[in-house]
């Protein structure tokens, strides 16, 4: 019996599997990382009828050898065929509704084609095949005209007699007839868009697996793993089936609530604590700003700790201003303009570093934060304190001691927000924050390596109670950002928001929760030992490289072995470093260039070099992107970061084998060595950075 495979019992010594045909088929199947996996659907190649493409419903897809000679062409056709089979299964093989399969498969394949590399599209420019021609002309192709395309019906041989497209299908097509990789970059903003050459977004990663890269970029963003992608792709298939059976709206709400319940379960969060998913961490800041506006009549002051190491759009969001030029719901707006309905607020920034670029001490930061709160409190304002628990470079502020000192202030009106965007926390840390009445802002896209733009706010019971009791409505400008369905149903304040669902946000969170679940399934003893083992190696490797200078060199490192319990927030897991050339830090523009070169295949630049050098140059290495930091007192430079991500642990724990676990971590430590060697190689050929 087959199980989740595409080819079964076909490898026999026949003409189908002559050397040339095998090579063609391998070229196609190697790129199946974004194609759904469907049980019991065979792909059969044909040399006897080389121009055949046939879908045998619920059984197989037959493709001729002429298609295979152009692997990109074959891939597009197979993507259509497999998507058609997926919807046919979801319909439970109702031939009278076959119109849905034709429309859905075409819509998915059309988007799939758009996401192909530029060089792939060039290989399809001269071909004359019906599906490719229809895709290229699809801008003017309505559903009605699509249903009259006899060539599409000929693929499966079932006559679409009624040619009726049901109204109930429309939202299902609009939301779910999209490739999973498209959904993982939808419902965010332009920063998630990928280029057409390398298929990378602004953060240097992809909305589909990128197994060829060494990836330690969890402090910024990471390409989705094969494991999480397949699980999310499966979730899309289930949603299609449930939507056809129970209705789109009901199935979507149930899916959203299931995600929230899974997140509560993973972190042991009380049922009374509400969760709002948001398109990004910066969107979470805008949501906090909006909620603050309706729960107090006082003037508002936000005290933003680590203003130099939080998201670049956060200050604007807290002031109720647009932080990009388009919203998560794809409305064009003007960056910097104020959203409708927001009152003016004050913002006090407390950066980690002074004007000379030097990191402030804990006492300095505590004094600065306490003074800002104390003086603002005297003015009778409501204060929103944004506490940083793990910044871009791995710092925390203010201290627990200072937080306790706030109790000495009289008539203090304050709400504490924990910026835990990195989510380098254990479940007990999250629970403790909520028990203290703090709102916790998290993402699933940093430490847990879900796709970028997986933001969420977790509200403690007392804040939830206050929000439920208010009769005020959220600022109307939020209608361009969020849907009513994103917010708790008990909150009347959000009923004026837009209708609809942000499937991009849901799918990204599904992938993130998959990563969280498998991370916490690793036994805690081995998990903690693996973390220590990996982080010790990274720290030592950076210190030993004479061309790298860690920015944390003078820190007194917490000795976690003396703690009663291991806590991930007590160990450094983000390792930032300057890059030196002739004992001088590289200027910021060269650091950014080196970051891009690291993440690229440079083998073509080293033709004629020894094989070892060519392999090193060709290895793609994705690490944390550049953060501007002064070197000394004058040079504006930047640091790059190597970071521990949850996958270092979860992908090492396979087959429940302890010895394999530590060997797998050692393999990833070897990848760190390669990354550092590639940095050295680029520095030795400085012309690459010009």
pLDDT (tens digit per residue) in 409-425: 999 999 999 999 999 99
The pLDDT confidence band at residue 564, using thresholds 50, 70 and 90, is: low
Query: Distance (Å, rounded) from C-alpha 221 to C-alpha 388?
Result: 19
How high is the pLDDT of residue 22?
A: 67
Query: Distance (Å, rounded) from C-alpha 376 to C-alpha 378?
Result: 5
pLDDT in tens, 174-231: 999 999 999 999 998 888 999 999 999 999 999 999 999 999 999 999 999 999 999 9
How high is the pLDDT of residue 137?
A: 84
pLDDT above 70: residue 306: yes
pLDDT in tens, 105-120: 999 999 999 999 999 9
Q: Which of 232, 249, 303, 307 lies closest to 36, judged by CA?
A: 232
pLDDT in tens, 30-43: 777 888 888 888 88
pLDDT above 50: residue 556: no
How high is the pLDDT of residue 4?
A: 43
- What class does CATH assign to 248-517? alpha beta
pLDDT in tens, 331-349: 999 999 999 999 999 999 9
Mean pLDDT of the chain: 91
**Average pLDDT in the 492-507 region?**
93
Decide if 415 contacts 385 (C-beta within 8 A): yes
**Average pLDDT in the 535-551 region?**
97
How high is the pLDDT of residue 21?
A: 60
Instruction: Return the SS3 of 488.
Output: coil
Query: Distance (Å, rounded) from C-alpha 644 to C-alpha 651?
Result: 13
pLDDT above 90: residue 559: no
How high is the pLDDT of residue 553?
A: 60
What percent of the chain stands above pLDDT 70? 94
Sole residue written with tokens 């630049």: 605
Partnered with residue 628 across adjacent β-strands are 638
**Average pLDDT in the 670-681 region?**
98
pLDDT above 80: residue 13: no
The pLDDT confidence band at residue 15, using thresholds 50, 70 and 90, is: low
Query: Distance (Å, rounded) from C-alpha 55 to C-alpha 84?
Result: 8
Instruction: Return the SS3 of 632.
Output: coil
The pLDDT confidence band at residue 280, using thresholds 50, 70 and 90, is: confident
pLDDT in tens, 145-175: 888 888 899 999 887 766 778 899 999 999 9
pLDDT above 50: residue 9: no
Degrees to nearest 5, angle at CA 596 with 594 and 599: 110
Higher pLDDT, 251 or 16: 251
For 288, residues 6+ apart whose C-beta sits below 8 A from its C-beta are: 318, 384, 417, 439, 441, 457
Quickly list DSSP for 293-309: HHH--S-EEEEEETTTS
pLDDT above 50: residue 557: no
How high is the pLDDT of residue 19?
A: 60
What percent of the chain stands above pLDDT 90? 78
Burial (Cβ within 10 Å: 0-12, 13-18, ≥19) of residue 682: buried
pLDDT above 60: residue 562: no
DSSP state, residue 361: P
Quickly list DSSP for 87-136: HHHHTTS-GGGHHHHHHHHHHHHHHHHHTS-HHHHHTTTT---HHHHHHH
Decide if 459 contacts 469 (C-beta within 8 A): no
The pLDDT confidence band at residue 684, using thresholds 50, 70 and 90, is: very high
Q: Strands, E, within 599-634: which ranges?
A: 620-631
Query: Distance (Å, rounded) from C-alpha 59 to C-alpha 79?
Result: 15
pLDDT in tens, 598-646: 999 999 999 999 999 999 999 999 999 999 999 987 789 999 999 999 9
Query: Distance (Å, rounded) from C-alpha 2 to C-alpha 162?
Result: 35
How high is the pLDDT of residue 94?
A: 78
How high is the pLDDT of residue 286?
A: 97
Query: What residue segments make up the domains of the chain, in order of their start?
Result: 1-165, 248-517, 522-689
């Amino acid at each position: 019996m087959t199980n989740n495979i595409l080819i079964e019992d076909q490898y026999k010594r026949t003409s189908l599997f002559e050397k040339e045909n095998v090579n063609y088929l391998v070229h196609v199947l190697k790129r199946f990382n974004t194609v759904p996996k469907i049980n019991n659907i065979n792909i059969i190649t044909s040399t006897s009828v080389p121009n055949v493409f046939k879908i045998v419903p619920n059984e197989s897809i037959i493709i001729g050898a002429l298609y295979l000679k152009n692997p990109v062409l074959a891939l597009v056709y197979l993507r259509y065929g497999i998507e058609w089979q997926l919807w046919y299964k979801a319909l439970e093989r109702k031939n009278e509704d076959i119109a849905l399969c034709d429309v859905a498969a075409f819509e998915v394949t059309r988007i799939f084609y758009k996401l192909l590399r530029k060089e792939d599209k060039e290989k399809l420019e001269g071909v004359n095949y019906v599906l490719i021609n229809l895709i290229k002309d699809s801008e003017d192709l309505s559903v009605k005209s699509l249903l009259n395309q006899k060539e599409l019906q000929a693929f499966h041989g079932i006559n679409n007699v009624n040619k009726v497209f049901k109204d109930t299908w429309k939202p299902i097509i609009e939301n779910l007839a999209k490739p999973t990789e498209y959904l993982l970059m939808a419902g965010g903003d332009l920063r998630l868009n990928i280029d057409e050459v390398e298929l990378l977004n602004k953060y240097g990663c992809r909305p589909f697996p990128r197994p060829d890269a060494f990836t330690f970029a969890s402090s910024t963003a990471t390409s989705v793993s094969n494991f999480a992608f397949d699980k999310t792709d499966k979730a899309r298939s289930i949603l299609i089936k449930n939507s056809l059976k129970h209705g789109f709206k009901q199935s979507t709400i149930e899916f959203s609530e299931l995600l929230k319940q899974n997140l509560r379960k993973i972190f042991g969060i009380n049922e009374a604590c509400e969760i709002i998913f948001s398109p990004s961490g910066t969107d979470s800041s805008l949501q906090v700003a909006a909620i603050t506006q309706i729960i107090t009549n006082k003037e508002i002051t936000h005290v933003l700790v680590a203003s130099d190491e939080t998201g670049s759009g956060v200050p604007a969001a807290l002031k109720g201003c647009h932080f990009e030029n388009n919203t998560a719901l794809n409305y064009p707006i003007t960056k910097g303009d104020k959203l409708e309905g927001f009152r003016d607020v004050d913002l006090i920034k407390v950066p980690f570093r002074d004007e000379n670029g030097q990191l402030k001490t804990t006492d300095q930061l505590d004094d600065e934060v306490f003074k800002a709160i104390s003086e603002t409190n005297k003015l009778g304002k409501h204060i929103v304190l944004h506490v940083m628990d793990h910044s871009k470079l791995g710092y925390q502020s203010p201290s627990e001691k200072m937080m306790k000192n706030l109790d000495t202030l009289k008539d203090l009106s304050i709400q504490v927000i924990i910026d835990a965007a990195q989510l380098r926390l254990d479940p007990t840390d999250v629970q403790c924050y909520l028990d203290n009445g703090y709102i916790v802002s998290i993402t699933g896209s940093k430490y847990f390596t879900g796709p970028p733009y997986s933001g969420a706010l977790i509200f403690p019971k007392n804040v939830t109670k206050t929000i439920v009791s208010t009769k005020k409505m959220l600022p109307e400008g939020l209608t361009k950002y969020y849907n009513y369905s994103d917010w708790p149903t008990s909150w009347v304040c959000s009923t004026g928001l837009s209708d609809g669902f942000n499937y991009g946000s849901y799918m990204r969170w599904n992938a993130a929760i998959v990563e969280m679940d498998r991370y916490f399934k690793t036994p805690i003893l081995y998990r903690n030992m693996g973390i220590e083992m990996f982080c010790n190696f990274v720290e030592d490797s950076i210190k030993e490289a004479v061309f790298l200078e860690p920015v944390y060199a003078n820190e007194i490192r917490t000795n976690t072995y003396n703690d009663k319990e291991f806590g991930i927030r007590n160990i450094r897991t983000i390792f930032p470093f300057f890059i030196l050339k002739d004992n001088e830090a590289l200027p910021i523009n060269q650091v950014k260039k080196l970051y891009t070169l690291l993440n690229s295949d440079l083998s073509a630049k080293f033709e004629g070099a020894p094989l070892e050098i060519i392999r090193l140059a060709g290895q793609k290495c994705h690490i944390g992107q550049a953060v501007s930091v002064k070197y000394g007192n004058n040079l504006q430079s930047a640091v790059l970061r190597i970071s521990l991500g949850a996958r270092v642990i979860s992908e090492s724990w396979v087959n429940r084998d302890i010895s394999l676990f530590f060997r797998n971590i050692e393999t990833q430590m070897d990848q760190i060595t390669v990354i550092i060697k590639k940095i050295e190689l680029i520095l030795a050929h400085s012309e690459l950075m010009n």
